[in-house]
Structure 1
Amino acid sequence: MSLLNAALFADPELDDLLDDNAHLAAIVHFEAMLASASATEGLIPSAAAHEISERLGQVQLDTAALGAGLAKDGVVVPALIGALRQTLSEASRPYLHHGATSQDAIDTAWMLQLAQIVPLLQQRLGHVDSTLDGLTVQFGGQKLMAHTRMQAALPFTLADKLSTWQRAIEECTTGLTFAAERALAVQLGGPVGNRASFEGKGDAIATRLAALLGLRAAPAWHGNRVALCRLAAELAGISGVLGKLGVDITLMTQSELGQAVISGGGGSSAMAHKNNPVEAELLVTLARQSAGSLGTLFQALVHENERSGAAWTLEWLTLPTVVRNAGSGLLMAQRLLQRLSFPPQDTA
Structure 2
Amino acid sequence: MIDRYMTKDMKALWSEANRYRAWLRVELAAMDAQAALGEVPREAHDDLVARTTHDPLDEAFAARVAEIEEVTRHDIVAFTTALSERYGEYARFVHHGLTSTDVVDTAQNLLLDEALGLVAADVSALRDVCREQAVRYRDTPTIGRTHGIHAEPMTFGLKFLNWMATLDRDLERLAAARARVRVVMLSGSVGTYAHVSPQVEERVAASWGWQAAPVTNQTLARDRHAEVLAALAILGTTLEKIAVEIRHLQRTEVREAMEPFGKGQKGSSSMPHKKNPILTENVTGLARLLRGFLVTGLENVALWHERDISHSSAERVILPDATAAASYATRRLTGVLRDLVVFPQRMMDNLDGLGGLVFSQRVLHQLIDHGLTREDAYAIVQRASLRSWETGEGLRDLLRADPEMPLGPAELDAAFDLQWYLREIGHVYARFGL
Normalization by structure 2: what TM-score?
0.74
Tell me the SS of whatever aligns to 1:86.
helix
Gap change, CA 1:263 and 1:186, over 3 Å in 2: same
Matches of 1:109 and 1:308 in 2, distance apart? 18
Residue in structure 2 matched with residue 123 of structure 1 by the alignment:
121
Gap change, CA 1:220 and 1:315, over 3 Å in 2: farther
Matches of 1:170 and 1:37 in 2, distance apart? 39
Aligned length: 340
Matches of 1:212 and 1:70 in 2, distance apart? 32
Tell me the SS of whatever aligns to 2:154.
strand
Matches of 1:82 and 1:321 in 2, distance apart? 29
Matches of 2:69 and 2:165 in 1, distance apart? 44
CA offsets per residue over residues 192-225 of structure 1, 9 Å max, x none? 2222111xx22x1111112334433223541511
Residue in structure 2 matched with residue 237 of structure 1 by the alignment:
234
Q: CA RMSD in A?
A: 2.0
Deviation (angstroms), 1:87: 4.1
Gap change, CA 1:31 and 1:136, over 3 Å in 2: same
Aligned partner letter, 1:252 = L
Aligned partner letter, 1:211 = A
Matches of 2:179 and 2:201 in 1, distance apart? 17
CA offsets per residue over residues 288-340 of structure 1, 9 Å max, x none? 01111211122110111112111222211211111111111111011111120
Aligned partner letter, 2:295 = G
Residue in structure 1 matched with residue 387 of structure 2 by the alignment:
none
Gap change, CA 1:75 and 1:171, over 3 Å in 2: farther
Look at both structures and tell me which one has the larger radius of gyration over its CA atoms. Answer: 2
Deviation (angstroms), 1:274: 1.3
Normalization by structure 1: what TM-score?
0.91
Tell me the SS of whatever aligns to 2:160.
helix
Gap change, CA 1:72 and 1:165, over 3 Å in 2: farther
- Aligned pair 1:46/2:42, yes or no? yes
CA offsets per residue over residues 247-278 of structure 1, 9 Å max, x none? 11101110100121222165111221111111
Deviation (angstroms), 1:151: 2.7
Residue in structure 1 matched with residue 204 of structure 2 by the alignment:
209
Taking the TM superposition and a 5 Å limit, the aligned residue runs for 1:262-301 are: 262-264=259-261, 267-301=267-301
CA offsets per residue over residues 144-197 of structure 1, 9 Å max, x none? 222222333222211222222111111001111111112121121212222211
More divergent stretch after superposition (28-37 vs 57-66): 57-66
Matches of 2:225 and 2:140 in 1, distance apart? 43
Is the 8 Å Cα contact of residues 6 and 325 (structure 2) preserved in structure 1?
A: no
Aligned partner letter, 1:13 = D
CA offsets per residue over residues 84-127 of structure 1, 9 Å max, x none? 1234554x344211011111111111111222222222222121
Deviation (angstroms), 1:49: 2.2
Matches of 1:59 and 1:11 in 2, distance apart? 24
Aligned partner letter, 1:171 = R
More divergent stretch after superposition (53-62 vs 98-107): 53-62
Residue in structure 2 matched with residue 309 of structure 1 by the alignment:
309
Residue in structure 1 matched with residue 248 of structure 2 by the alignment:
251
Residue in structure 2 matched with residue 227 of structure 1 by the alignment:
224
Deviation (angstroms), 1:80: 0.6
Residue in structure 2 matched with residue 135 of structure 1 by the alignment:
133
Aligned partner letter, 2:236 = S
Deviation (angstroms), 1:71: 4.7
Matches of 2:95 and 2:42 in 1, distance apart? 14
Is the 8 Å Cα contact of residues 75 and 102 (structure 1) preserved in structure 2?
A: no
Is the 8 Å Cα contact of residues 147 and 153 (structure 1) preserved in structure 2?
A: yes
Aligned partner letter, 2:229 = A
Deviation (angstroms), 1:138: 1.5
Gap change, CA 1:321 and 1:74, over 3 Å in 2: farther
1:114 to 96, 109, 112: 112
Residue in structure 2 matched with residue 80 of structure 1 by the alignment:
79
Deviation (angstroms), 1:342: 2.2
Gap change, CA 1:71 and 1:179, over 3 Å in 2: same
Matches of 1:131 and 1:318 in 2, distance apart? 29
Matches of 1:286 and 1:220 in 2, distance apart? 36
Aligned partner letter, 2:329 = G
Residue in structure 1 matched with residue 321 of structure 2 by the alignment:
321
Taking the TM superposition and a 5 Å limit, the aligned residue runs for 1:145-160 are: 145-160=143-158
Structure 2, unmatched stretches of 5+, are: 353-434
Matches of 2:170 and 2:268 in 1, distance apart? 35
Residue in structure 2 matched with residue 12 of structure 1 by the alignment:
8
Residue in structure 2 matched with residue 194 of structure 1 by the alignment:
192
